[in-house]
Chain A
Amino acid sequence: MSFSMLRSRGLRAAARSAGVKPVRSTLPAMRFLQTDADKSSPAESLPDAGDKPFTVALHGESFHSYRCDAPSNEISITKDELVQMYTTMVKMRRMEQAADALYKQKMIRGFCHLAIGQEAVSVGMEHAIDGDDRVITSYRCHTFAVLRGGTVKGVIAELMGRVDGMSYGKGGSMHIFTPSFFGGNGIVGAQVPVGAGIALAQKYLKKKSATFALYGDGASNQGQVFESYNMAKLWNLPCVFVCENNKYGMGTSAERSSMNTDFFTRGDKIPGLQVNGMDILAVKKATAWAKEWVTSGKGPLVVEFVTYRYGGHSMSDPGTTYRTRDEVQQMRSEKDAIAGLKRYILEWGVTDEASLKAIDKNAKEEVDVAVEEAKKSPFPDVKTFWTDIYYKGTEPPMMRGREKEEFHVYHKN
């Protein structure tokens, strides 16, 4: 078995060439796509300057394409950007872990869906798009809300229902918005047609921006998703449909919910790309490629990021009744996106262990400070119960509360 073939083309190809039957994967899904977070390697020696770009070769199995040519396996990156990505991913993980702890302390109520393990997708995407691009996703939205112009304090405060929350405490975990981020949506799959509508608006207003409409493997079978595919392709909308495939829709594995688990092929005539969602460089490359595709008038795309969540579906789900602890442990120890990026940074000599430890410490402190500030934020005043039902200034004269003497007057008739 040749080691170079193993490194560049993966275990299966190398095993095949040596005539050896490949070892069956311990993961429940048969994945031909490479899903390790650390299999990319630099194609040239790294420059000294932190902002000078160098080329990295992604693993050959990072992309599988459908009805199109996959992007090349090369990405241009700088040392500074690698460190940036690491900083952001660590901060996002810290924030989600803080939310986990706050939920257990009962300071967060209701729904809380955490994206621990899926950081490479949100951070990698953000590094390939700009403030004019639009993103919409489901309820697993905290990291996107911060990355798209929000703040950690704003998200944590919103989860705790405080006035300093990004929706002033009125929306909660699933309804956080920024000018380029349309939530945070509670109804599974409903965000996909809304995302296609946002893309329609971008095209109508002649903007050169892409819209990313995200959904999960669980939502991928929704009828409205296919209705959106149809209209987006029909009208050539600049919409990238992104399936964040973390292999489980709540407690149901993808194999048990979907007759076709190649989610990147579900767009019928829409070209698709399946991407290793654990390697942040692959995510960035694929996102940049997708943005270029849809904004150059080629129509929509379906991009599937194969990723994994360590936690349960939400805080009320331990996440171990439908998958083994071993599986979760294996993913955490072997395929973790942050560990993978850390490996790149250390092995390629981008920076040293001490700096990374400092970044870790910094991120923890930053999040802790944000949590403390959020805790100090007051609960919303009763007045805000009545605001924003209708657009300010267009309210009816009054709105009713629980009984006839409980009502709010907006203006005299």
Chain B
Amino acid sequence: MASRAVSKVLRPATVSARALSSSSTTSSAASKLVGRNALLTTPLARVSRSEPKWLVGAEQRRLASSDEGAQQMTVREALNSAMEEEMNRDETVFVMGEEVARYNGAYKITKGLLDKFGEDRVIDTPITESGFAGMAVGAALAGLRPVCEFMTWNFAMQAIDQIVNSGGKTYYMSGGNVPCPVTFRGPNGAAAGVAAQHSQDYSAWYGSVPGLKVISPWSAADCRGLLKAAIRDPNPVCFLENELLYGVSFPVTKEELSEDFLLPIGKAKVEKEGSDVTVVTHSKMVTHSLEAAELLEKNEGIKVEVINLRSIRPLDIDTIIKSVKKTNHLVTVEGGFPAFGVGSEIIAQICESPAFDFLDAPPERVTGADVPTPYSESLEHMAFPDTDIIAKVLKRHLYRQ
């Protein structure tokens, strides 16, 4: 155990593959194909986390952890290991997308999968999103579990009809006869310096469609647990990652590294407890919100409660209601456009809920600017929220300018 803990090469998937081959000789003879019904009864792991020792910032910094057996893992490694484990577990899971096989992934998320599983299960597609997203839907309708990667979710607009109409609505329109267990994944929202057509955040668009599940993870553990859950989920799932988080390290516990570690889709997580204001956020903005929370606690003594949504749909409004009842203040933070966005939806739901009576101030949103993302750095920083603006808004919100 100790030797593994200090190992630089974080390949928990290989570790577990070894464990799998040595301990489960009984099941190796049985078919690896897991029936759809069986998956429904797979229990969800309830993981008790110790105080989160998260890391922020784009550079990788390793912090020595005092927890026994705690390791570091980047978001990239988390996604890679999740896919590898699910492909090992269920033969019907396969990956398709541009550059996922021989190039090892445009962002190296699918690195090594081609070598392990071969070209039948890791498929390089031509640059034809509408076509291959439709094919992913068709393969799912016919009994497989495709993981369809979009190089970014911006390109998925070419395929949005297949995702929403062919994927999202078929189960309902068929009266429950035809499920569609497809997972669409890829980087969403802001990158750095890629300008307007490559920086849009689609959480609100997909989040508005009944029939889809939409996930926006933050940490490595989020990515592991939620991607595994998404692949096992028999519904069409849109998994919205963030390119700037791919290289960020997070501590992961042994449970989070285990093969059957799943997180429930539709449950938010309170990343930091507080008593003065509730900040609801998702994806990269969790990092900035936590930084702002730390600043405000140190400088002003303000205790901010940060909720990591994890899922856009289903939205865990109950966790938010519980928090607002405690803190009496609500500020949402997101990277997407302000109009008709995730924050707007949360505030509308809170106003319709019993939590409204507990509010001491009108709820507020911090969002991306209502501007097509500009290229130049001096302008781009005005297009997305950062730690400073979140802190400023929170102070103002609590009348503590």
User: Known: A170-B172, A170-B173, A193-B134. Contact between A231 and B234, CB under 8 A?
Assistant: no
Q: How far is the CB of A215 from chain B (nearest CB, A)?
A: 12
Smallest Cβ-Cβ distance to B125: which chain A residue: A231
Flag whether B314 is at the interface (Cβ < 8 A): yes
Flag whether B274 is at the interface (Cβ < 8 A): no
User: A187-199: contact bitstring with B at CB < 8 Å (1 yes, 0 no)?
Assistant: 1001111111111
| Chain B contact residues, majority secondary structure | mixed
- Partner-contacting stretch, out of A90-98, A201-209, A278-286, A367-375: A201-209
Is A134 a contact partner of B128 (Cβ separation < 8 A)?
no
- Inside 8 A of B313's CB, which chain A residues have their CB? 396
Q: How far is the CB of B162 from chain A (nearest CB, A)?
A: 6
Q: How many angstroms between the C-alpha atoms of A165 and B177 in the bound complex?
A: 12
Smallest Cβ-Cβ distance to A136: which chain B residue: B138
- Inside 8 A of A389's CB, which chain B residues have their CB? 171-172, 210-211
User: Known: A193-B130, A389-B211. Contact between A134 and B234, CB under 8 A?
Assistant: no
Is B175 a contact partner of A198 (Cβ separation < 8 A)?
no
- Partner-contacting stretch, out of B139-147, B184-192, B299-307, B390-398: B139-147
Flag whether A227 is at the interface (Cβ < 8 A): yes
- Report which of B133, B165, B174, B353 forms a contact with A177, defined as CB distance below 8 A: B174
User: Known: A193-B131, A227-B126, A228-B131. Contact between A388 and B171, CB under 8 A?
Assistant: yes
Smallest Cβ-Cβ distance to A206: which chain B residue: B120
Is A234 a contact partner of B126 (Cβ separation < 8 A)?
yes
Is A198 a contact partner of B141 (Cβ separation < 8 A)?
yes
Is B120 a contact partner of A204 (Cβ separation < 8 A)?
yes
Q: How many angstroms between the C-alpha atoms of A190 and B199 in the bound complex?
A: 27
Flag whether A391 is at the interface (Cβ < 8 A): yes
Flag whether A175 is at the interface (Cβ < 8 A): yes
Q: How far is the CB of A202 from chain B (nearest CB, A)?
A: 7
Is B174 a contact partner of A185 (Cβ separation < 8 A)?
no
Is B174 a contact partner of A204 (Cβ separation < 8 A)?
no
Q: How far is the CB of A238 from chain B (nearest CB, A)?
A: 12
Q: How many angstroms between the C-alpha atoms of A281 and B139 in the bound complex?
A: 32
User: B123-162: contact bitstring with A at CB < 8 Å (1 yes, 0 no)?
Assistant: 1011010111111111111111010000000000000011
Smallest Cβ-Cβ distance to B180: which chain A residue: A391
Binding site for B on A (CB under 8 A): 134, 136, 165-172, 175, 177, 182-183, 185-187, 190-202, 204-205, 223-224, 227-228, 230-231, 234-235, 384, 387-394, 396-397, 399, 404, 413
Q: Report the 4 A-B pairs with minimum CB-CB distance, sorted nearest first.
A: A197-B138, A193-B134, A227-B131, A396-B314
> Known contacts A196-B131, A200-B144, A201-B142; can you find 10 more A-B pairs with CB under 8 A?
A187-B161, A193-B131, A193-B135, A193-B138, A195-B138, A197-B136, A199-B138, A228-B131, A231-B125, A389-B211
